[in-house]
Chain A
């Protein structure tokens, strides 16, 4: 019974953190509230990344390609019909002639992302280790290159604009909770357990009859769908998107958030995303002179965030939420029960 209660705490904890972030964001000025929304969208991306990387133990640099696909699908299908000829002059008619509502665009994004992940993952999920990392990176490169140049599926190198800005604080909170809930349900399901067994000991897992390739593929598809969903949230937050803004830097930043938090738990993904986003927003406010007690010189933000991430990884290689660093909290919770 205690084990079951603890496992639900793994859902409740992140959800409480996310709701707290959402509530906090509703009490501050509109400009600053945007930073909270942004942090929640980042949380959704990092949790989507966690679904694959955390459960399988295989590093992927490719999840941002599903994010890109989701963002463009959600964006292109919600650009108002009369704006389409000017924003998307040469796209296929299947994009040009259809417009859907905000909620449906998110569903569509998730579906297209999952299908794309299925097609890509089927051959690639046989790889492990560095080969898997490089192959998924190749997927990111190809996606970026094609989206940037092929004007039949998007605006090419131009910025996609006039996307309705519908992601507010509450939608971002709900979206992040939905992604966390999906991740939680997956990792409790037989599929998730099999994959984590394969992560811990591939040989024993295979001996027990687990098809590692298939289990990895499930996680990859779910993670791809969730990443694309997060992409939809992102494009509806920004209102515009350029493929250069969602490329290497975002890939490395989200991976770093996950590793800083701890790759092996849902907690880790959420804590890492919120802590790094928080630090990033705080320093960018300080650079702009919006913090009364601390004024940072321009450029401090990048240096400080990178130094923070490097320091965490060097001194706490398991991340902020690694079991040993969480031990006091766990003991406290057990004692109360």
Chain B
């Protein structure tokens, strides 16, 4: 595999992870809650696409968005709202429990074998014949990531709703005192994260057209790690962190040789290498790789 190919693969993986990172970072911004169950939103979207196989792709994707957004809002009302004043550890473990609950319901309902998705299979083929492989879906995911992020930045920086969200993210109590409608802001952030989860579901099912109950679980964990490594206190650093860990995983996976007996020198030790890098970065820059040293965020958790 050539170096350029490795870098292309790594960028494609990074852009999907960046999209997931935005969804996780948005909710963390207003709620101070790390949503571990984010992967199960993507899973729900994947199952919706699998169950609507054979429908008109546009309708199938619309239904997927509706289901994921519905589930996200339900999660907010049922679980996040009562937990708003709980400790960060409790919130995190509560979202584990929800994640397990959704996974086991999926396992019970749809079985362990998994379901195929054929909605957008056409996009998973290479653009042109040649030694370099570039798949249509990668272009789509990079474009969706760029557009999504651009739209979000416009919303946050150019509208009063975005101003409210930024205010709530900076200091929730004071923002509330000054008349920001807390529930509306939180619902909006959660809704946006649901939209992003649905988009990720469409992209991931095209790349890996087989949905199981642990679909997107591993990706969510890696993205969560990336978000914290990048700096979870700001949306852009969280996003960059998501991209960086996707890129690092892709690149290291391409460059590590497939032989060698000792740890860290062989492709099977990819996870070790990535997580060793994570530890090194965290020890050197605990607030986040992309957060300036001078502007230390206040310790909140």
Contact = CB atoms under 8 A, between A and B. Distances in A.
B229 A145 contact: no
B63 interface: no
Given A134-B229, A313-B83, A313-B90, A303 B104 contact: yes
B93 A255 contact: yes
Residue in A59, A298, A318 with the greatest tally of chain B CB atoms within 10 Å = A59
Interface stretch (A5-13, A304-312, A323-331): A304-312
Given A135-B279, A142-B272, A317 B101 contact: no
A149 B79 CA distance: 39
B34 interface: yes
B34 A130 contact: yes
A102 interface: no
Contact of B107 (A139, A142, A302): A302
A314 B79 contact: yes
A104 interface: no
Contacts of A306: 97-98, 100-101, 103-104
Contacts of B175: none
Contact of A59 (B85, B92, B286): B92
A288 interface: no
A23 interface: no
A101 interface: no
Given A152-B261, A256-B93, A299 B107 contact: yes
Interface in A124-149: 124, 126-131, 133-135, 137-139, 141-142, 144-146, 149
Contacts of B261: 152
Interface in B196-232: 221, 224-225, 228-229, 232
A223 B88 CA distance: 22
A307 B82 contact: no
B96 A255 contact: yes
Residue in A124, A299, A306 with the greatest tally of chain B CB atoms within 10 Å = A306
Contacts of B300: 129
A134 B225 CA distance: 6
A257 to B, nearest CB: 10
Nearest to B226: A134
A138 B107 contact: no
Interface residues of A, number: 45
A142 B105 contact: no
B96 A252 contact: yes
Given A138-B278, A317-B83, A129 B96 contact: no
B224 A134 contact: yes
A139 to B, nearest CB: 7
A330 B282 CA distance: 43
A6 B286 CA distance: 40
B139 interface: no
A310 B299 contact: no
Contacts of B275: 138-139, 141-142, 145
Residue in A145, A298, A309, A318 with the greatest tally of chain B CB atoms within 10 Å = A145
Nearest to B283: A123
B83 A314 contact: yes
Nearest to B218: A248
A248 B217 CA distance: 11
A146 B272 contact: yes
Contact of A252 (B100, B262, B276): B100
A263 interface: yes
Contact of B104 (A53, A131, A256, A302): A302
Contacts of B221: 137, 248
Contact of B101 (A137, A252, A298, A310): A310
B268 interface: yes
Contact of B286 (A131, A152, A309): A131
A92 interface: no
A134 B272 contact: no
A259 B108 CA distance: 26
A265 to B, nearest CB: 15
Contacts of A27: none
B58 to A, nearest CB: 34
A50 to B, nearest CB: 12
B94 A314 contact: yes
13 contacts: A128-B286, A130-B232, A134-B282, A135-B282, A141-B271, A149-B263, A150-B262, A252-B96, A256-B93, A299-B107, A302-B104, A303-B104, A315-B82
Interface of B: 34, 78-79, 82-83, 85-90, 92-94, 96-98, 100-101, 103-105, 107-108, 221, 224-225, 228-229, 232, 261-263, 266, 268-269, 271-272, 275-276, 278-279, 282-283, 286-287, 299-301
